[in-house]
């Protein structure tokens, strides 16, 4: 694996280091020791998979608060998505700063999302599939979210939103109630 830090402390892009031969390639997608050595939370509590029918589908911006904060390792296994995070760590020098990266079947890239980062993505293709490894079980009472279209965040989505859940569309704008 090739672990590349972003400008947001703890948020990294994970690229595969392919070992190729006549059969194809082999690559490690996760290694507890390498994650720990890079200062990342290596625990995997759950693995989740989402499938999205239409390009423009938006999922997010989600995070969990204590006692169930979670780190995520997100990879697009079919199609392509634009994946975005927002630092929501109180007191962080990069509080409310964002980072975006394209994850796709073609680039095989993953994004490590630290605890207390809001996370979401928009599908760039029909039939996009996204796999998540998460460090904490889904805990409904701790779930929070940010609006994907909050002008205070300035998240740039490349396509018009074609599908979004009622819950994701209803998160309050910053400063207008709990998120």
So which residues are the catalytic ones?
A: 62, 132
Task: Compute φ and ψ for 112, nearest 5 degrees.
Answer: -90, 120
Instruction: Identify how many contiguous H helices and E strands the chain contains and give both numbers.
Output: 2, 13
Task: Compute φ and ψ for 139, nearest 5 degrees.
Answer: -130, 95
Contact criterion met (CB below 8 Å) for 131 and 78: no
Residue 70: how many other CB atoms lie within 10 Å: 26
Distance separating alpha carbons of residues 29 and 16, to the nearest angstrom: 7
Residue in the structure block whose two tokens are 């939103």: 161
Distance separating alpha carbons of residues 100 and 103, to the nearest angstrom: 10
Distance separating alpha carbons of residues 142 and 84, to the nearest angstrom: 20
Distance separating alpha carbons of residues 107 and 102, to the nearest angstrom: 8
């Amino acid at each position: 694996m090739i672990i590349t830090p972003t400008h947001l402390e703890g948020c990294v892009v994970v690229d595969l280091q392919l070992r190729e031969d006549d059969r194809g390639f082999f690559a490690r997608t996760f290694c507890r020791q390498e994650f720990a050595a890079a200062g990342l939370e290596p625990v995997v509590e759950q693995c989740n998979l989402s499938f999205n029918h239409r390009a423009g589908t938006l999922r997010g911006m989600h995070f969990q608060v204590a006692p169930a904060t979670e780190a995520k390792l997100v990879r697009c296994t079919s199609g392509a998505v634009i994946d975005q995070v927002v630092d929501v760590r109180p007191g962080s020098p990069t509080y409310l700063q964002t980072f975006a990266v394209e994850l796709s079947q073609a680039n095989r890239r993953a994004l490590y999302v630290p605890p207390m980062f809001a996370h979401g993505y928009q599908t760039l293709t029909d039939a996009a599939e996204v796999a998540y490894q998460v460090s904490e079980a889904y805990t409904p009472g701790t779930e929070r979210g940010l609006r994907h279209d909050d002008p205070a965040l300035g998240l740039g989505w490349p396509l018009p939103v074609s599908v979004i859940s009622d819950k994701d569309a209803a998160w309050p704008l910053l400063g207008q109630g709990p998120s």
